[in-house]
Amino acid sequence: MMIDKIVKASILSYFLFCLNIVHCQDKPIKPKVEDLITPQEKSKNYSASYKEVMDYYEKLANSFPRKAFFYQVDDADNQLLSTDDGYPFKVFRIGEVDNTRPNVLIINGIHPGEPEGIDASMQIARDILIKNQWNQVFNFYFIPIYNVEGALRRGSGNRPNQDGPEKMGFRGNSLNLDLNRDFIKMDSKNTKALVTLFHQIKPVLVIDNHTSNGADYPYTMTQLNNSNQLESNKRKYIQDNFLPQVFNNYNQKNYPIMEYVDLKNKIPDSGIVRNYYPPRFSQGYFGLFNTFAMTIETHKFKPFPQRVITTYNLMHSIFEVLYHQIKQNKYPNTFGFTFNASNQKINFDFKVNFKKKDSILFNGYQAENIPSQATSGKRLNYNHNKPYKKFIPFYKTWDTVLSVNETPIGYLIPKSDSKLIEVLKANYITIDNYTNSTIQNDQNKIISFKIKSFKNTHGLLPYEGHYLHSDVSLDTVFSNNPFIYNPEDPSSKYLWIDINKNQDKAYFIHYIFNPKAQDSYFNWNFFDYALSQKEYYSDYAFEDLAPNILSSDPILKDKFNNKMKSDSIFSFHPEQQLDFIYKNSKYAEQTDNLYPVYLIYKR
C-alpha cells in the first residue's frame, strides 16, 4: 500500500514537472531594458539612422507580440500608403484597436535635423511596454520618422551651431518641401499618409517633437500649443488644468520649462509672443478639428544627450497626467467642433494683439553687440557670465482676423478637380454625387465669388512650391448661374459636400473654402485655373459691335457714361473703355475669375 502511494506520488510529480516545462515553453520571456538598448543609449551623441530606427521598432513589436504592432498605414480603400520616394509609411502602435479607448499620436522627424524626439520615443515606447504603463487606458501611435527622405540625407553640417548629434538629417524632403508647412495643402505623400492616420484614430492629443533655433537662454525645453484655437470649454480645461499639472510634474524632475521663445523683436527682453500658427503647420491643422496639439521644442545650443532626456521626461509627464485625467473622466475627449445652426458665428485666423501686454518670469542672458571676428560689423552675443532672472513682456492675447456670421449648409465642387478630391478624401470628407434634386432652389440660396484682386505674399518668389495668395478681394455672385444649371446633365459637373454628413470636419471645410482665410485652398493655388481668361475679342472688330451694345442697353450706357465722367484715367484710355463694354455684354466670358466652388445657404 505504501509503495502504491509512493508510485502514485512519483507519477503525479512527474506529470506536474512536465506541465511546468510545457508552460514555461509557452510563456514568453519578458524582455528587459538591457536587451532593448537604443543606439543613442549606447553612444550618447549619436542619433539612430533610418534603418536602425525601423529595425528597432520591428524588434520591439516582436518582443511584445500582443501589445505592440508595427505596420504600414492604409487608406479608406485599403491601399497601403508610402512616402514620396516609395518607402512604406509605418506607425508603431502600443495597445489594442479599441474604438472606446482614447489615442495619442506622437510625431517624430518632421525636421530630421532635429532628431531627439526620434531617439526619445524609441526609449519611452520600450519603457511603456516593459513597465506596462498607461497603455491600459489609452493607445500610443508613434510615427518613428515622418520625413523619411530628409532623414536619409544625413550629415554633420545640416544644422549650424547645433550641439549634436554626430550626424543628423535634413529639413526638406525629396521634393524640398518643409513638411511642417504642408498639412493643409498636402503636396507630399507623407502628409497624405499622416493625415489619413490622424482621421482614422482621432487622437485626443498630438505631440510634435522639434528643436528650436533663435535666442540663447538657459532652458533646454520650451513648448507651444494650439489651446487658443480650441472650443472654449476644452480650451479652458487644457489651459487651467491639464497644462499646469504637466508643467508641475515636469518641473519636479528638475528640468524647468518655458513658453516657446518666439521674440517680439531680436532679443528676449523685447518680449515673448504666443503667435498664431495657421493650418499649414501641424498644430494649426489639428486645431481645425478641435484636437489639442503640443509642439515640443528643445534648445539647439544644449548638448544632444540632454535634449533627448528632456524630451523623454516631458513626454513622460504628459502621459502621466493624461493617464490620471482620463481615468477620472476629466480630460475632454472630443473630436471636431459642434455647430448648432448655420447662422452661428465662426472665427477664422487670428493675430497677436500687441496692445495687450502681460509678463512672464524669464531666465536669460544679457544681450550685447560686440565686434565680429568674421566681418567688419558687430554681432549679437549672449553673455553667459551675466545671467538674469526677471519679468519680461508676454504677448498672448489674440484678435480675430476673419469671421463669418453665416455658414453654408454645403458646397458644390468641380467633379473634374481630381487634386482637390484626393485631398478631401484623405481628410475623410464625405462627398456625394450632385443631382437636380440635391438643392431646392426655392429653399436655398446659391452663391459664388468673382475674384477681384489678390496679392502674392512673397512677390515673384515661390513659397513651398506655390505662389501663395493673400489680401483677396471678392465680389459676391448670386446664382441663377447658368454654369450650374445650363448643362443638360449638371451631375457630370459637380459633387456635393453636405455639412450635416461632415459635422466633426465642418470647421475644416468652411475654412478651406473661404477664399479670404489665410491658408484657404484658393490662397494655396488650388483654383488658379479659374484665374485665366480663355475667350478674347479683336478690338478693331469689336468696335463694330460696341455702339449697338450700348444703344440696346440703356442701363449699361448710363453706367458707361457715368464712369467716363467720374474716372479720368478711364476716360483717357479707349482700350479700357472698349474692355468695359465687352465685360458688361453678353459676349463676356462668364467664368473668368469665377471662384469654381459654390456655397449653398438656407434662405
Lowest mean pLDDT among 80-84, 330-334, 352-356: 330-334
CB-based contacts of 210, cutoff 8 Å, min separation 6 = 110, 111, 114, 117, 295, 296, 297, 298
Homologous superfamily (CATH) of 33-336 is Zn peptidases (3.40.630.10)
**What does 533-590 look like in DSSP terms, one character per residue?**
------HHHHHHHHHHHHHT-HHHHHHHHHHHHH-HHHHH-HHHHHHHHHHTSTTS-T
In this structure, are residues 268 and 219 in contact, taking their beta carbons and an 8 Å threshold? Answer: no
The pLDDT of residue 444 is 82
Is the pLDDT score of 96 beyond 60? yes
Given phi > 0 = left and psi -120 to 50 = alpha, else beta, which region is 593? left
Is the pLDDT score of 402 beyond 50? yes
In the chain, list all ranges with CATH 3.40.630.10: 33-336
Q: What mean pLDDT value characterizes the chain?
A: 91
Q: What percent of the chain stands above pLDDT 90?
A: 81
Helix (H, G, I), strand (E, B) or coil at 473: strand
| In the block, residue with C-alpha cell 513682456 | 393
The pLDDT of residue 508 is 97
Is the pLDDT score of 396 beyond 90? yes
Task: Give the confidence band of 442 by pLDDT, cuts at 50, 70, 90.
Answer: low
Helix 304-327 and helix 116-131: axis angle, to 10°? 50
CB-based contacts of 6, cutoff 8 Å, min separation 6 = none
Task: Give the confidence band of 4 by pLDDT, cuts at 50, 70, 90.
Answer: low
Task: Give the confidence band of 483 by pLDDT, cuts at 50, 70, 90.
Answer: low
Cis? peptide before 165, omega within 30° of 0: yes
Task: Give the confidence band of 591 by pLDDT, cuts at 50, 70, 90.
Answer: confident
pLDDT digit string, tens, across residues 212-262 = 988 999 999 999 999 999 999 999 999 999 999 999 999 998 789 999 999
Tell me the H-state helices in 363-519: 418-426, 482-485, 506-512
φ, ψ at 98 (rounded to 5°): -145, 115
The pLDDT of residue 343 is 61
Is the pLDDT score of 5 beyond 50? no
Lowest mean pLDDT among 126-135, 329-338, 351-360, 553-562: 329-338
Distance (Å, rounded) from C-alpha 248 to C-alpha 244? 6
- 245 burial (CB, 10 Å; 0-12 / 13-18 / 19+) is middle
